[in-house]
Chains A and B, each alone.
Chain A
Amino acid sequence: GAGVSQSPRYKVAKRGQDVALRCDPISGHVSLFWYQQALGQGPEFLTYFQNEAQLDKSGLPSDRFFAERPEGSVSTLKIQRTQQEDSAVYLCASSGQGAKGSPLHFGNGTRLTVT
């Protein structure tokens, strides 16, 4: 497909489980972003990659959150020992330009529910 693809669409995890969320950006897009969106809130920045380099991870809420993009295309966001406050929609976005001020193309998101 031509758009950003995320999987799974929905994930239910028991508190304490580890989860891995996948993002497949638009082909050729160098910049990839992860955002977290809680109900009724705007997306909150988590981390940003340019190709395989993680240039900014200032938004990751704790050391339980880890993201990687080893080959500069697909990215995985991993959350260890999930907590109820991790329940949110996790949005991945990509941009064709390296500049952080470029518009983003979002995937459908992964809705994580921690029980």
Chain B
Amino acid sequence: RKEVEQDPGPFNVPEGATVAFNCTYSNSASQSFFWYRQDCRKEPKLLMSVYSSGNEDGRFTAQLNRASQYISLLIRDSKLSDSATYLCVVNGGNTPLVFGKGTRLSVIA
């Protein structure tokens, strides 16, 4: 089992829709969790950290479920500019940050 697993998608959604991505991780010792966004042929950029109590940043909500070892990202009122690949990132104890393969989102007009 890979350390971090994501559904690769693509998720094709209309503008204004709500979309959610899940990500599972295998290392129960993981302490830090992030969502990164990567546009085509660009570098990954931090979207948001994920905190134990869950956190929100505008239209984006991230949640962590330690018991089931997954994190989620919810995007409300999708915009065309949200089209990108969303990378789930986890650190595990002494290991550096491990990236999932990413979930591709296309928001359609």
Question: Contact: A104 with B46, CB < 8 Å?
Answer: yes
Residue A18, interface by CB 8 Å: no
Question: Contact: B87 with A100, CB < 8 Å?
Answer: no
- Does more than half of chain B's interface fall in helix, strand or loop, or is it mixed? strand
B residues near A25, Cβ cutoff 8 Å: none
In Å, the complex CA distance between A35 and B100 comes to: 13
A residues near B4, Cβ cutoff 8 Å: 42
A residues near B68, Cβ cutoff 8 Å: none
Question: Contact: B43 with A41, CB < 8 Å?
Answer: no
Residue B107, interface by CB 8 Å: no
Which residue from chain B places its CB closest to the CB of A104 in the assembled complex? B97
Other A-B contacts than A48-B96, A101-B91, 10 sampled, CB-CB below 8 A, are: A35-B99, A42-B101, A43-B44, A45-B97, A45-B98, A100-B91, A100-B96, A101-B97, A102-B32, A104-B97
Question: Contact: B43 with A107, CB < 8 Å?
Answer: yes
- Does more than half of chain A's interface fall in helix, strand or loop, or is it mixed? loop
Question: Which residues of A from 69 to 101 have beta carbons under 8 Å from B?
Answer: 91, 100-101
Question: Contact: B100 with A42, CB < 8 Å?
Answer: yes
Question: Which residues of A from 33 to 63 have beta carbons under 8 Å from B?
Answer: 33, 35, 40-45, 48, 56
Residue A106, interface by CB 8 Å: yes
Question: Contact: A109 with B43, CB < 8 Å?
Answer: yes
Binding site for B on A (CB under 8 A): 33, 35, 40-45, 48, 56, 91, 100-109
Question: Contact: A100 with B97, CB < 8 Å?
Answer: yes
0/1 interface trace, chain B 36-73, chain A, CB 8 Å (1 if under): 00000011111001000000000000000000000000
**Contact A44/B99 with A104-B46, A106-B44, A108-B43 known, Cβ cut-off 8 Å:** yes
**Pick the contact of B102 from A35, A42, A102 — CB < 8 Å?**
A42
B residues near A48, Cβ cutoff 8 Å: 96
Q: How close is A77's CB to chain B, nearest CB, in angstroms?
A: 15
**Contact A100/B100 with A42-B87, A106-B44, A108-B43 known, Cβ cut-off 8 Å:** no
**Contact A41/B91 with A33-B96, A48-B96, A106-B44 known, Cβ cut-off 8 Å:** no
